[in-house]
Amino acid sequence: MIQVSDGKIGTREFFSILYGMMAIRVTDSTPNLLHETGLTAAWMMPLISAAVLFVPLMMMLSLLKKGDTDTDLLQLLTELTGSILGRLITFLIFASVFSSTVLNGRSYGDIVTVMYYPDTALLIVMTLLLGAALYISHRGLEAIGRTALLVVPVFMVTSVILVLGVASQLNFLYLFPIAGAGGWEVIKGGVGYSSFFADIIIVGVLASRVRTFEAYRKASIWGLWVPAFKMALFLAVFVMIFDYPAVRNIAYPYHHLTRMAMIGSLANHVEAFFLALWFIGAAIHFATYLYISAYLLGKLIGYPPYQRLLLPLAGAAVVLGMMPENHLQGDHLRKLLLQSTSVFFLLLPALLWGLDRFRKKGKR
């Protein structure tokens, strides 16, 4: 039956968006940050991050459930913390989302120019990437959701194919010593880098755009754990194929992995296939980020036709992304951003939950 579009998305679309936002981190410099901290035990860190984030997620879900179906994170903020503090927090979320768009945009541009097209200007790659993202996000959340739903199953299948393609070259013994940098270091790292999955809290601002609360709850729980497990799997695969300490020296392990993959003995240059898919994934990733940035900025400055903000934001992302001299500077900024926002996103739902409790007591 053809349904009339209501601008809202369902469980599968929302899950695909979340997958597109988080699972693609496997392919950029994220594994390097994790391997640097966790050494051979880096694969545990995403699972720790997800477990740590699961508590705030549950708190946020319990708050969203109480309200009517149109409640979202921003409404909760204004309701519970008041207009001024609410705006400040909204600004902080916007700042973290947009700066992550800028830094990741640069990082993805670097990957393309370093690994695949050494003679192409970075500016062109970034323009193309954010241009494609702009085009998708311009069509609205529903379009992002549908595009994601279309390609995410393909990504999942190809990830499995990729792992199978290198399976014969893996040695699970390289995962030992099991605690890597030491148990405490790994846990600390897992908590410190939990903002890799903080998207799960951020998308609370879109809660009212999901058809039902039940759909939102289901999609966000799956959307947290599936990317976390994928990340853990790939971190383990990277160590199993390159071995520690060599894995620390490889700039973009995912792209080296696609080069090493072989499907049969004839198809051994399959990276072009993965590059094409990866670029589509990146476009969806940035489309979501741009959309959320524009949405938040619109709310922040009280400008309802927020879709008009997409173009300036995309342009700003390209210009700002070109500023760091090389990817090391960008990575350094990214590390700072991740560590500072981790605490923020872990505590935000707890703060809201506490305020909610407090207010209820006051009423009674």
Partner 1 sequence: MRWNGWKLGMVLVILLLVSGCGERRELETSAFVSVIGLDKAEQDHQVKVTFQISNPQVNTTQSAEAQKEPPSDIVTITSVDLLSAKELAQSSLSREITFSHLQTIIVGEELARDDLFKHIIGSAIIDPEMRRETIMIVSKERAQAFIHANKPTMETRPHKYYQFMEDNWRKTGFSPVSNLNAFFQRTEGELFLAAYATAERDPIGIRHDDDYSAGEVPQDSGDPVQMIGSAVMQEGKMVGMLNGEETRISQLLRRKNLIETMTAEFPDPLNENYQISLVLNQSSHTEIEVDTDRSPVKIDVKVPLQVKVNSNIALEDFTASQKRRDALREMVKEKMEEASDSLIKKLQENYTGEPFVWYATARRNFWTVSGFENFEWGEKFKEADVDLHYEVSVTSFGEQLSPPAFKKFEEDK
* Cis omega (within 30 of 0) for bond into 118: no
Q: With respect to partner 1, which residue has the nearer C-beta, 243 or 356?
A: 243
CA nearest to 346, candidates 204, 185, 184, 195:
195
Q: Which two tokens stand for residue 305?
A: 């036709």
DSSP 8-state symbol, 283: H
Q: How far apart are CA 355 and CA 194, in angstroms?
A: 23
Q: Which two tokens stand for residue 205?
A: 């601002």
Q: Least CB distance from residue 21 to partner 1, whole Å? A: 22
Q: How far apart are CA 112 and CA 73, in angstroms?
A: 35
How many angstroms separate the first and last alpha carbons of the chain?
48
Residue with tokens 């966000």: 220
Q: With respect to partner 1, which residue has the nearer C-beta, 89 or 241?
A: 241
Q: Which two tokens stand for residue 326?
A: 């090389």
Q: Least CB distance from residue 281 to partner 1, whole Å? A: 16
Q: Which residues of 267-285 are buried (b: 16+ CB within 10 A; e: fewer)?
A: eeebbebbbebbbbbbbbb
Residues in contact with partner 1 by CB under 8 A are: 39-40, 114-115, 117-120, 124, 128, 131-132, 134-135, 138-139, 169, 171, 173-174, 176-183, 241-246, 249, 256, 259-260, 268-269, 307-308
Q: With respect to partner 1, which residue has the nearer C-beta, 269 or 357?
A: 269
Bridge partners of 135, per DSSP, are none
Q: Least CB distance from residue 336 to partner 1, whole Å? A: 25
* Cis omega (within 30 of 0) for bond into 177: yes
Q: Least CB distance from residue 182 to partner 1, whole Å? A: 5
Q: Least CB distance from residue 101 to partner 1, whole Å? A: 19
Q: Least CB distance from residue 123 to partner 1, whole Å? A: 12
Q: With respect to partner 1, which residue has the nearer C-beta, 77 or 297?
A: 297
Q: With respect to partner 1, which residue has the nearer C-beta, 179 or 320?
A: 179
Q: With respect to partner 1, which residue has the nearer C-beta, 206 or 283?
A: 283
